[in-house]
Structure 1
Amino acid sequence: KKDGLDGKTICVQGVGDMKMGEYLRGLGEMPPSWDTDALKAQAIAARTYAYNKTKDGGCICTSTSCQYFSSSLMNRDDRKRWYEAIKADDTKDRILKGGVSAQYSSTTGGWINGVGWDITDGGSWPNDAYEKKAESPWFYKAWFTQTYKRDSSTCGRKHPWLNGEEMADILNAYVLLKANKNTSRILPETINKCPIAGMSGDPYDKEELRGKAKSVDSNAGYENVTGVKNIKFNDGRTTTLTFITDKGEKQVDGQIFAEAFNIRAPGYIAIKHTPDSKALFNILKK
């Protein structure tokens, strides 16, 4: 406990100087309807984060890059439980001490290395993940924008959904990638219209890629995908899935498919994951 901490002045970016306690009132990191103990834990975590960010004279930002803050949240009747959690005897002025600042894990996608699946007892991913129940906006998303910003380019697309021909095209890319043959031109057909990381090139068109895939696997050369089934997950990754195509069913390796998807899907559609992690994804039919 640091006596008087909530009365100390901190710098809030774009707002100016304000008392720690006032700043905490304006945070929007947890719904005020949640359990009292959860709100109290959040109050201590939020105070700790703000203290560490500002203790050496720095300012804390107001976006989700730090902690979401809005002055409009500071005095609202529907947030009284949050205000009470901040000033409760067992939370006021209190922060966490330790060598690592680890108050927040925004979204893990349902799996934490060394911990396991983030699901309720007997549940399944993704429907029973705690992050879904908590309505994390980043937990389960289909990405089709160039960056994470809301106003980012979409390469002319209005949604991330692929039609059957587009999905079949990615499946043909998978065939070449898995065989490690004729892969140099596996690029999005839109790559010159919408460069990715400054990249351009000479991508296969769908018909060319279909022919290349068939030359590697006589059962390939897919023209249409009508469904997907038997999606399997293990150790925080998608392991296998089966596509229903115009040429029958095709089971694929989840990790190789994710790679094929990310280097062939049109525009900026992608399966997001960090380079050092496995891809954990699901596929839905609209």
Structure 2
Amino acid sequence: MKRVDRASMVVGVIWALCVAPSAFAAFVAPDLGDAAAYTLLAIPDSSDAPTLAVSSDSDVAGQLGVGPGGFYNKSGSGDVTGNVILASTATSLNTGSGNPGNIQTGDLTSAIADALAASNAISLAALDPPTASFASITSTDTITGINGVSLFAVGDLNLGGSDILTLQGAATDFFIFHVTGVLNMSGSSKIVTSGGLLPQNVLFHVPTTGTDIIVSASSEAVGTFLAPHRDFTLHGALVQGRVIANDIGVTSGGEFFAFPQQPEPQPQPEPVIPEPSTALLLGLGLLPLARRRS
């Protein structure tokens, strides 16, 4: 029998304890904190002040936010349904016939900080081996997650034509797409969920500077787009979800609407014990009498 060197055993144990666990990294769903209250949140990127523009017949449902030094521009016949929170140094201009929303001043400090913290946390988690890696996603495909949180490393996500990206998972699962390159959708392409996976449990994280994120034509998408250092344009398409980016534009009939509210669990009613009926009470009262007569 070959003798096992004690030093080799020690090295093997150290490797198993310190290195091997990273291959089985347990990812955690990101916490957007106060940023989760916004359907569209335009935030500063270094010295680049944020802009949020809603034009033509585009509609947005949900709360909007524009960070310090930013500009909110509402034009056209479309409607914004919800509050529009402007940082104290942000300004706005409304030149359209549609509803610009309930414009008010508020403090976005914590929302912006929470969004950046979530982005940093995902970037740190992405240093571990991902659930799966894709150099590019450019055609119809189905991606199935693991139980819990899946983190997918993606170079480019570029869908066009009639491409459909189906995300298969349970209601308790969470999908994170860590995209470092292009993120574009055009034509009638779609990103959809299946198997019970909730749209609010899908997040596309674009942590780097680069080309604008564009969702255009009649394409449709679900999920959160967290891209603090890029611009996002919705051009005539439809998104159920939220966007956190530097500059955000919604134009040419684009539609944004918030995630559906999940119903609060209702307490189970206590069982109702019926009162004894009069007939039953009379019957019980007459029973001894009937026995005595017999």
Q: Which has the higher strand share?
A: 2
Q: TM-score, normalised by structure 2?
A: 0.21
Q: Which has the higher helix share?
A: 1
Q: TM-score, normalised by structure 1?
A: 0.21
Which structure has the larger Rg over C-alpha atoms? 2
